[in-house]
A and B are shown apart, each in its own frame.
Chain A
Amino acid sequence: MSEMEQDDFPTRAMARLEAARPPAGMRGRLLVAYDAQRPLRIRLAELLWPGMPAWAPGAALAASLLLGVGVGVGVALPGPTAERMAFSPEEPPSASVESLLAEER
């Protein structure tokens, strides 16, 4: 018998095997296992912003926190008003009486 014929025998034998098909639901169970093994951080990120890489929701959260803190600090601390600047007792007067009179003229 030739080498070719001999090689062909196992292929013919394998072709006689009954078809083996994955059980129904195997893919679903695999996807459940996939979800279960992912770290909580990544699952939360996926929940917050589906389809984006894990760093994106984190970066967005950090940026919004910084913005919030910035705005909050700006509102909470009263800024110097024009009046305070004009009559601040701590600061030396920025204009003399003579210069004001000269402006009047």
Chain B
Amino acid sequence: MLVTRHSGRIFVLARRMLGSDAEAEDVVQDTFLKLWTHAARWKPGTAKIETWLYRVGLNACYDRLRKKRPVPLDEALELPDAAPRPDQGLDAPALAAAVAAALAQLPERQRAAILLCHHEERGNIEAAEILGLSVEAVESLLARGRRNLKARLAPFRDLLGDEG
């Protein structure tokens, strides 16, 4: 069944995009509601259903990210940094938090491209279909995303096994 096969993956992607279980579940529900209401108009052969679900899920994530009110600057300055400092003696959960924080700081499209290609292990062509972009545009997003991620995780490079 579609729900059993795909809901978990859409949830994980939305969770990584939004950083919240509750919001990710809402995204999954929005995605499947769209599928059910559009099922009658589904044209076989237009796109893989999984690709379509990812695309709808990602668009729902973008909508939520845009609706989130920006934090006022004075409040933002008082917020404690979620990411641990490299000198804190990192265990696995702390390193995971550092990676999650670095990911969350990426622009949303770069984050989506990185997640699709490096987390969900989708190819560039499928990622391009999901993101509604050309393959070249996805490659460019990926290159910027990788560079950004690397820069943000520079203090943890050794822990992440990067020699460069």
Q: Which A residues have a C-beta under 8 Å from some C-beta of B?
A: 1, 5-7, 9-14, 16-18, 20-23, 26-27, 29-31, 33-34, 37-38
B1-42 interface bits toward A, Cβ cutoff 8 Å, 1 = contact, 0 = none: 001100110011001100001001100110011001100000
- Contact residue among A7, A11, A13, A33 (Cβ-Cβ distance under 8 Å from B33): A33
Q: Is the CB of B28 within 8 A of A26?
A: yes
Chain B residues positioned under 8 Å from A18 (CB to CB): 93, 96-97, 100
**Known contacts A16-B96, A18-B96; is-contact A30 B7 (Cβ 8 Å):** yes
Q: Is the CB of B11 within 8 A of A31?
A: no
Chain A: minimal CB distance from B14 (Å):
9
Chain A: minimal CB distance from B78 (Å):
26
**In this assembly, does B149 line the interface, its C-beta being within 8 Å of a C-beta of chain A?**
yes
Q: Is the CB of B164 within 8 A of A14?
A: no
Residue of B with least CB distance to A30? B3
Distance in angstroms between the alpha carbons of A23 and B7 in the assembled complex: 11
B91-112 interface bits toward A, Cβ cutoff 8 Å, 1 = contact, 0 = none: 0110111011011000000000
Chain A residues positioned under 8 Å from B29 (CB to CB): 29-30, 33
Chain A: minimal CB distance from B148 (Å):
10
Size category, B interface: 35 or more
Q: Is the CB of B146 within 8 A of A20?
A: no
Q: Is the CB of B160 within 8 A of A31?
A: no
Q: Is the CB of A6 within 8 A of B164?
A: yes
Distance in angstroms between the alpha carbons of A23 and B119 in the assembled complex: 20
**In this assembly, does B75 line the interface, its C-beta being within 8 Å of a C-beta of chain A?**
no
Chain B: minimal CB distance from A12 (Å):
5
Chain B residues positioned under 8 Å from A23 (CB to CB): 21, 25
Q: Is the CB of B149 within 8 A of A30?
A: no
Q: Is the CB of A12 within 8 A of B163?
A: no
- Contact residue among A1, A9, A20, A31 (Cβ-Cβ distance under 8 Å from B3): A31
Distance in angstroms between the alpha carbons of A77 and B50 in the assembled complex: 62
Other than the given A16-B95, A20-B11, 7 more pairs (CB < 8 A) read: A10-B146, A16-B92, A16-B160, A17-B119, A22-B28, A26-B28, A30-B29
Q: Is the CB of B16 within 8 A of A20?
A: yes
Q: Is the CB of A27 within 8 A of B11?
A: no
**In this assembly, does B114 line the interface, its C-beta being within 8 Å of a C-beta of chain A?**
yes
Q: Is the CB of B146 within 8 A of A6?
A: yes
Q: Is the CB of B145 within 8 A of A10?
A: yes
- Contact residue among A14, A17, A34 (Cβ-Cβ distance under 8 Å from B36): A34
